[in-house]
Structure 1
């Protein structure tokens, strides 16, 4: 194959991935051709051809007018295959069910990916309306219990944080590195993180890193409506979650098989 063809192929692949990531991040909010072309700095004609090809393959969907675009159903194949092929996720899900039944609260499993955490499993509480932490959602690691539990496993000079001010999700989210570093020091001392309405207003979370890798890449958390979080309930949550972490870490190593994937 000629060198020029290889370069064009790589460029086309990079553009395809970029389009899919943008559409996935926007969820239910559709995108227009011009909007995508401008954001990704791709010529309008090239963007149109790429979108039409992705629509034909089922990776992107369009409305009846052909002017709005969103992520397609074929993208679901990739996400479910990742989860179905991960022994850790398969092993931890029943523990989340058990803890949710015991505490009556919402449980999560997430994995660190760069400066974000990605939700891999969720068990919703039957006691209150669901939060916005659906499977596949990305949250800045500094902004919640799951991410802070994982950041605390790393040295302060090795934190995967973006440059400049930290993104803010609520009025309680840490926007400065100084405040975050102080929080991480407290997290290391107590052995778990606390999210006081930093990700979602009205929700308090408790995060626990799973140390079957070093440094930890996965964490579990328990989310509770702040209005019904008493001191006694908080004590019980921490006790149950600590025991849950110990059981998961004790049982996971023997069942991991296959390639040692880079996370």
Structure 2
């Protein structure tokens, strides 16, 4: 094998390793070798050897029978190190704490990653009725206020390039027509905030604002409120608090 061929094989192996880890990360639970092979299309023999290597290294876990596989604890260590080392997440902590106390609702800081948004930090609501959320959660950008706020900082042409050809329907309220989504993004640019009208979770309305310390923006903050307790006055208070928090985050970002 030539040096060029050897290099190509090493790159191919690295790509397969990353794709395998991303497969497990996006599908919680344990999976059979046949199920993984069907989803990824790798040769079964090489897939088995890759899985066993990752099990030995702690990146993948196997069940007691050794026939089902899932994400390993090493992936958690890498994920937390990303958050621990991110300057924006660290700088945002006081602002997120104040925003959560002021609104009494669930607060998110998220980052655009391809066609999704990924939660970087969350603050739980003080109410019994509240949404479940966690850092590391990945959601389609087009179905969230966070994602729409971030997409709106791009041009229409850029949005068309960023988004997949088919927009997944998360709930009956999700915008799946690209032209309707683009029209809403134009409104987001005008008003400065985005709204998720039960498009990702039924019974939940979310308000999101991009934090444009770079252009286009990559981070945004949001506030999620169950529609059962969302009054016009509370909605206005939430929006006002989000704008103040955005300005505080922008000021914090200037010191990084």
Structure 1 length as normaliser, TM-score?
Answer: 0.93
What displacement does 1:74 show? 0.5
**With CA pairs under 8 Å and 6+ residues apart, which has the higher RCO, 1 or 2?**
2
Residue segments in structure 2 that go unaligned for 5+ positions in a row = none
Residue segments in structure 1 that go unaligned for 5+ positions in a row = 257-263
Aligned residue for 2:73, secondary structure, equals: coil
Q: Which moved more, 1:245-254 or 1:67-76?
A: 245-254
Q: Distance in 1 between matches of 2:229 and 2:120?
A: 26
Q: How far does the alpha carbon of each residue in 1:166-204 deviate from its partner, in whole angstroms, 9 at most, with x for none?
A: 111111100101211121111111110011101111110
Q: Distance in 1 between matches of 2:141 and 2:127?
A: 27
Structure 2 counterpart of 1:127: 127
Structure 2 counterpart of 1:169: 170
Q: Which moved more, 1:227-236 or 1:32-41?
A: 32-41
Over 3 Å counting, the alpha-carbon distance change for 1:247 and 1:117 in structure 2 is same
Q: How far does the alpha carbon of each residue in 1:102-133 deviate from its partner, in whole angstroms, 9 at most, with x for none?
A: 11100000011111111111111131355343
What displacement does 1:93 show? 2.1
Structure 1 counterpart of 2:136: 136
Structure 2 counterpart of 1:44: 44
What displacement does 1:3 show? 2.5
Aligned length: 253
- Where in structure 2 are the equivalents of 1:192-207 lying within 5 Å? 192-207=193-208
What displacement does 1:214 show? 0.7
Structure 2 length as normaliser, TM-score?
Answer: 0.95
Q: How far does the alpha carbon of each residue in 1:122-178 deviate from its partner, in whole angstroms, 9 at most, with x for none?
A: 111131355343211111111110000011111111111111x31111111001012
Q: Distance in 1 between matches of 2:209 and 2:135?
A: 18
Q: Distance in 1 between matches of 2:6 and 2:240?
A: 59
Q: Distance in 2 between matches of 1:82 and 1:109?
A: 14
- Asked if 1:30 corresponds to 2:35, the answer is no
Q: How far does the alpha carbon of each residue in 1:70-119 deviate from its partner, in whole angstroms, 9 at most, with x for none?
A: 10000112111111111001111221121111111000000111111111
Q: Distance in 2 between matches of 1:126 and 1:224?
A: 11
Q: Distance in 2 between matches of 1:88 and 1:98?
A: 16
Residues 129, 226 of structure 2: 8 Å contact kept? no
- Where in structure 2 are the equivalents of 1:68-107 lying within 5 Å? 68-107=68-107
Structure 2 counterpart of 1:9: 10
Aligned residue for 1:38, secondary structure, equals: helix
Structure 1 counterpart of 2:155: 155
Structure 1 counterpart of 2:111: 111
Q: Distance in 2 between matches of 1:202 and 1:93?
A: 28
Q: Distance in 1 between matches of 2:252 and 2:87?
A: 12
Q: Distance in 2 between matches of 1:128 and 1:17?
A: 39
Q: Distance in 2 between matches of 1:145 and 1:129?
A: 20
